[in-house]
Amino acid sequence: MAHAGGKGTVAITRRLAEWVAALRLEEVPDDVVRHVKLGLLDTLGCGLFGSTLPWGQTVIRFAGTLGRGEEATVWGDGSLLPAANVALANGTLVHAFEMDDLHASGVLHPGSVTVTAAMAVAERRERGGGPPADGRSLLGALVAGYEVGARIGVACGYAKLRKGFHPAATTGVFCAAAAASRILGLDADATQDALGTAGTQASGLMAAQYGSMVKRMHMGLSAQSGIYGADLAAMGFRGVREVIEAPYGGFLSTLVGDAADPAFILEGLGERYELMGTGFKVYPSCGSSHTTIDALLAIRERCPDLSPEAVESVVVRTTTSTRDHVGWPYVPDTVTSAQMNLPYTVAALLADGALTVESFAEHRLREPRLVALAEKVHVEADPDLDRMGRDHRHTVRVTIRLTDGRQFEDSRTHARGTARVPISASDLEAKFTDLAGRVVGDDQAAAIREMVEDLEHLPTVSPLGDQMVRPPE
């Protein structure tokens, strides 16, 4: 490959920057706009719920120590802080309970980085006395961030996951930088610098899934990095101009290597919207466990007398990637590790008959019955599934053997809630109302939903931020 910037190098970063800067919302198909609005609604609900959790509250307190300036709103809490610090807090809140949107092929949670960066910068514009960003501006920023991230994610996310990077965090900086650049009105040159400065901050290790709280914070750090990139670019700061494609030290060459598919990033840009592959989670656990959950729920329908005590064993055959990601033997630790662990997730589902927020309550993690049930779950890599390619990364073949000798099987390739098996808008609205209503009440949740539905007619973004605050008791 040629040296960065030399003959033979495809100018991926530049082409993306030009597309972001020139994007016109009126040219974006209606179904794409509707999908992005659903992503916004889902993200807001997840963020409000995340504000109630201990690790979310810790990061809110931490963000408050980083500087002063009443620029944007910390969701749930209501504090006004500098925009980049608000993005750190809100991005963490959205990813705080494994409920945020997921682009499965890109291994990306676009809302947690795109929405949080765009809204923080939009609020800052208005509160700082500048021309306010209206709902159409916000929508354009969200389309830009979701699409840039989805394309980069599909090109390299799966390979990054296999190497041990957290793809959503590393790719997420580009979502945030693109969205923030749009809100700031940066031209193509500055947007290229914003992507370059954000991209060199890309970080996140998947070992964070084993017991730490920091996995939640990965998305907040990425959102913050994106704003840093855009703000510095607005001041004339030069970033890595070929940050994505540089053959030495570039994003693809360093984090992915030869497994990347750089051509995909620009293929059909502006004509085909890869962001439509974003799905919405219906279970509060790692997305790699959702096909197994669907299979088990189908088995329960065929075996209504299925009880935890009747289970002799559960065998989940899947890809090596999914086994490595979620299939390790369960050892009670934190909520994070339980949500990322397939044996615990299976045990909780079998015990509760459904998988809900309460299934991952702290006091449940060491229940002897759940621990014993998790020990009966065996996750095995199937070479035949590996050979089917990354579109089958989450494929599972689940077998339950009961103590009375009966055996039930079910197979799934794509989970409910993904783009291949989508849920309805009403189902997503019900999820939002459940999560947001716990924090701000049903009436305020309804007001947020109405603002999102009518976003293109919203004269300013700040009223939406104002609704994202827990009412006084």
pLDDT for res 8: 52
pLDDT for res 9: 65
Q: 5: pLDDT confidence band, cut at 50, 70 and 90? A: very low
Would you state the torsion angle of the CA atoms of residues 3, 13, 161, 383, taken in this order, to the nearest 10 degrees? -70
In tens, the pLDDT along 278-336 reads 999 999 999 999 999 999 999 999 999 999 999 999 999 999 999 999 999 999 999 99
Q: 129: pLDDT confidence band, cut at 50, 70 and 90? A: confident
User: Taking a C-beta distance cutoff of 8 angstroms, is the pair 335, 210 a contact?
Assistant: no
H or E element, residue 43: helix 30-50
User: Taking a C-beta distance cutoff of 8 angstroms, is the pair 286, 278 a contact?
Assistant: no
The residues pairing with 84 across neighbouring beta strands, listed in sequence order, are none
In tens, the pLDDT along 404-461 reads 999 999 999 999 999 999 999 999 999 999 999 999 999 999 999 999 999 999 999 9
What is the number of other CB atoms lying within 10 angstroms of the CB of residue 6? 10
In tens, the pLDDT along 230-251 reads 999 999 999 999 999 999 999 9
Q: 203: pLDDT confidence band, cut at 50, 70 and 90? A: very high
User: What is the sign of the dihedral through the CA atoms of 96, 45, 143 and 126?
Assistant: negative
User: Taking a C-beta distance cutoff of 8 angstroms, is the pair 460, 126 a contact?
Assistant: yes
String of DSSP letters for 253-279: HHHTGGG--HHHHHTTTTTS-GGGGEE
The residues pairing with 81 across neighbouring beta strands, listed in sequence order, are 72
Q: 211: pLDDT confidence band, cut at 50, 70 and 90? A: confident
Share of the chain above pLDDT 90, in %: 95
Give the chain's domains with CATH numbers: 12-282+448-467 (1.10.4100.10), 287-412 (3.30.1330.120)
Structure tokens at 61: 């307190």
HSE-CB at 434 with a 13 A cutoff on CA atoms is 13
Q: What's the mean pLDDT in 454-469? A: 96
Radius of gyration, CA atoms only, the chain: 22
CA angle 454/43/184 to nearest 5° reads 70
pLDDT at residue 394 above 50? Answer: yes
In tens, the pLDDT along 80-110 reads 999 999 999 999 999 999 999 999 999 999 9
pLDDT at residue 370 above 80? Answer: yes
